[in-house]
């Protein structure tokens, strides 16, 4: 019985079926794990978003209380009764540490101050009241309208407190407006730990809670030693611990999910972070809120499935190995030449003769491959030619063939860097045609295009071969001159260029007078960067044009 390619291919497909079963089992396990992890990540992100919204609502509650107390202070003239209102608010909110009514006069003198001491609201005696005008929560709040609230950044309280009282806090302040005039501010100081405890207390034990300010400093971390590092002269940043969070800090993303492998002392975890707006709507401030969860809890459900699939994979793998050995002897030998040719072609190397003379399926495949190779070769040649043309168009002006603005800016950056290294000056000439609009209006745009082409040839012919001539736009041209040792050398180049425009240009055999204004700027004398160098040359050109004299 003759073993044709059909029978051999049938046997090969049979072995592929076995391997397909193995791959299907593997990918079933892998996709199940990925789906479970993806579901857990989405769930963790949703939990983080809900937590952020609850925190925003908590900040909003404090803001409303602050605004309400400011309204009370505006209506209540008896400081004793106002103090009782402040005490009642402290008693109702365990996280409030202090409420003050601070005057807009007398350097921000405290008029009423209630502190929480030993868990009890206590009014501070008048002789112990202090001036607070230098604190941001005073002078920032004084500039707000009635009902608006200023929110400070989280920080450690060092405002006249002992070390035992130096705890993480933030302040909210609202102006007290009476008769259309700001009389002072009401400031509510909130202890960060009990305030935030209201939000993360309900999280299960495996969850970790993170919070950072807009610069990335940790405010909350499972490891308390990593928080408020800036108060100890350190910067412990969330974007350094979790690199993808840098996109949130920089405003390039609003949320991020990532996984980190564990160490000897810690297990692998999955993390989610969201960017939470913080403070006034127009301030652009924010905080980063994050949660973490052990990765083992995410993948635990797939362990049993993996064990069952593994048993099946072991059996099918043994069968597959036996079939592969048999198929390799029967089928692969005739295809070795094709495999070698394919590999050489993929690497751009020459290869041996293909079995195109065969009359079976291998011969058909070899002939098809040969045709494909020839077609791909032709297409690659055409593609390279097209790519070269596109590259030239991307960096050159289509009308004059000169470098365009994009290529000029690249070349200018290179020349300035070389000038900085070598210490030799360079010059930039800005050339603008006089009354070019009149040429377009009276002679037509076709003649205007011919004039621009002739101008380009004139400029190229007048300057040095090492100089770069470019067309920026319209009738604006530039000449970049390297290694210009002095102002006189630059002016000599400009003078030569000006002389080139004295005779009329040749436009289709007819003389055509054209004049140009030229501005010159030197690097580094006139500018320290490319933008200012070009701007100064442009400005110099306009001074020439406004002076109505033919000079550089």
* Cα R_g (the chain), whole angstroms: 39
Do 495 and 547 touch, CB atoms closer than 8 A?
no
Query: Active-site residue 475, yes or no?
Result: yes
Q: Which one from 217, 425, 467, 475 is the annotated catalytic residue?
A: 475
347 alpha carbon, distance to own chain's centre: 37
What H or E segment, with its residue span, contains residue 350?
A: none
End-to-end, the C-alpha distance of the chain in Å comes to: 95
Closest CA to 436 of 426, 444, 425: 444
Burial annotation 8-46 (CB, 10 A radius, 16+ → b, else e): beeebeebeebeebbeebeeebeebbeebbeebbeebbe
Closest CA to 522 of 416, 389, 398, 427: 427
Closest CA to 461 of 412, 413, 416, 506: 506
What is d(CA 523, CA 26) in angstroms, rounded to the nearest whole number?
65
Map tokens 């030799």 to a residue.
424
Do 99 and 116 touch, CB atoms closer than 8 A?
no
Beta pairing partners, 405 = none
What is d(CA 331, CA 481) in angstroms, rounded to the nearest whole number?
68
For the chain, how are helix, strand and coil distributed in percent, rounded to 5?
50, 20, 25
Map tokens 């621009």 to a residue.
452
Beta pairing partners, 480 = 428, 468
Q: Is 120 exposed, middle or buried (0-12, 13-18, 19+ CB in 10 A)?
A: exposed
Measured in degrees and rounded to the nearest 5, phi and psi for residue 511 equal -70, 140
Closest CA to 500 of 466, 455, 531: 455
Closest CA to 188 of 176, 168, 178, 174: 174
Looking at the annotation, which residues are catalytic?
A: 475
């Amino acid at each position: 019985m003759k073993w044709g390619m059909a029978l051999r291919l049938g046997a090969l497909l049979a072995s592929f079926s076995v391997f397909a079963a193995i791959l299907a089992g593997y990918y079933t396990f892998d996709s199940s794990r990925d789906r479970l992890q993806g579901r857990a990540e989405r769930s963790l992100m949703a939990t983080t978003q809900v937590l952020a919204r609850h925190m925003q609502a908590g900040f909003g509650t404090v803001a409303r209380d602050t605004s309400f107390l400011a309204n009370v202070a505006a209506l209540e003239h008896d400081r004793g009764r106002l103090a009782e209102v402040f005490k009642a608010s402290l008693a109702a909110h365990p996280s409030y540490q202090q409420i003050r009514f601070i005057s807009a006069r007398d350097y921000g003198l405290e008029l009423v101050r209630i502190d929480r001491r030993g868990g009890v609201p206590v009014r501070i005696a008048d002789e112990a009241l202090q001036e607070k005008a230098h604190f941001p929560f005073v002078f920032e709040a004084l500039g707000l309208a009635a009902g608006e609230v200023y929110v400070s950044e989280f920080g450690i309280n060092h405002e006249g407190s002992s070390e035992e009282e130096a705890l993480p806090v933030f302040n909210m302040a609202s102006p007290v407006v009476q008769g259309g005039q700001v009389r002072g501010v009401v400031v509510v100081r909130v202890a960060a730990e009990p305030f935030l405890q209201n939000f993360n207390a309900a999280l299960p034990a495996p969850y970790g809670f993170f919070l950072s300010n807009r610069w990335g400093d940790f405010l909350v971390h499972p490891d308390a030693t990593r928080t408020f590092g800036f108060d100890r002269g350190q910067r412990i940043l969330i974007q350094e611990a979790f690199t993808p969070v840098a996109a949130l800090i920089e405003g390039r993303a609003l949320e991020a999910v990532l996984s980190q492998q564990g160490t000897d002392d810690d297990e692998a975890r999955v993390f989610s972070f969201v960017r939470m707006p913080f403070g006034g709507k127009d301030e652009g401030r924010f905080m980063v809120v994050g949660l973490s969860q052990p990765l083992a809890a995410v993948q635990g459900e797939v362990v049993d499935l993996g064990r069952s699939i593994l048993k099946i994979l072991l059996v099918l793998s043994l069968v597959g190995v036996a079939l592969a050995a048999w198929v390799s002897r029967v089928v692969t030998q005739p295809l070795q030449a094709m495999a070698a040719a394919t590999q050489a072609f993929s690497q751009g190397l020459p290869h041996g003769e293909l079995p195109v003379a065969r009359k079976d399926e291998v011969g058909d495949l070899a002939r098809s491959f040969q045709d494909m190779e020839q077609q791909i070769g032709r297409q690659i040649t055409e593609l390279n030619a097209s790519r070269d043309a596109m590259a030239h168009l991307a960096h050159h002006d289509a009308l004059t063939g000169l470098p365009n603005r994009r290529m000029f800016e690249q070349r200018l950056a290179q020349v300035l860097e070389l000038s900085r290294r070598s210490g030799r000056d360079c010059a930039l000439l800005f050339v603008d045609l006089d009354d070019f609009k009149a040429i377009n209006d009276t002679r037509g745009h076709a003649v205007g295009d011919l004039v621009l082409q002739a101008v380009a040839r004139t400029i190229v012919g007048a300057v040095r071969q090492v100089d770069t001539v470019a067309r920026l736009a319209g009738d604006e041209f530039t000449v970049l001159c390297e290694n210009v040792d002095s102002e006189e050398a630059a002016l000599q180049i400009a003078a030569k260029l000006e002389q080139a425009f004295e005779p009329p240009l040749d436009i289709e055999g007819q003389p055509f007078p054209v004049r140009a204004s030229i501005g010159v700027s030197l690097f580094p004398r006139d500018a320290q960067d490319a933008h200012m160098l070009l701007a100064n040359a442009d400005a110099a050109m306009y001074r020439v044009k406004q002076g109505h004299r033919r000079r550089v």
